[in-house]
Amino acid sequence: MYRFYVEYIMNPSSFNLRCRTILLCVLLSACSLRPFHPTPVDALTEIPGMVVGSLNDPSSLQVLQQQEVAGGTVLLYRWQRTAAQPGNTFCLAATFVTPEGRGWRAQSSGFFSDGASGHPTCTFTTTSDFSAGYYVGGNITDLTTAYGWSTRGSHVRIIWSDGVVSQIPIHNNSFLEARPETLQVERIELRDTNDTVLAQEAF
């Protein structure tokens, strides 16, 4: 700070040039600190993606479904904690990612939480029954995403706050539906091939 002040008094042009050089270096350093994610899946390893830190095993990440919406992609995926045994319990989340420059960045995420800690619930198994949820917000755009897991049923019926009803098939024991609007989900019903309600979650 003191050196810049003295140089400004003695040689203003030198001070301006030095400040521009330092500012450029700071900007370049800041840019270099932002991870480059060549694919949407890679972006899940950066906050607000959920496969972050030493507690989570990125090699276990599996995308169950994806949907292009609002200029980006919503990914529904599962992964394991590093302490979990292969094939045992896993976590489940949905993350909205968007293209940025030459790569991808995570913008927002929704996940099942135990409530108390605010951490993801990582107790899902391949035999887990029906779990449904939704989250609002895409960070840079309006977005509402309904998602969940079920080992039974053929489809879910999503009742939105604007009166729209979506019928979404179960795929990979999961369901996903995102809309580029700020909404609420009133209810998600799990149904079988006869359209009989097997379970439901109201919000």
Its pTM stands at 0.82
- 53-67 pLDDT, tens per residue? 999 999 999 999 999
- Confirm if 108 and 174 have CB atoms less than 8 A apart: no
Give tens-digit pLDDT for 141-172: 999 999 999 999 999 999 999 999 999 999 99
CA–CA separation, 69 vs 29, rounded Å? 32
∠ CA 47-94-68, rounded to 5°: 105
Q: What is the mean pLDDT of the chain?
A: 85
| Residue-level pLDDT at 117 | 77
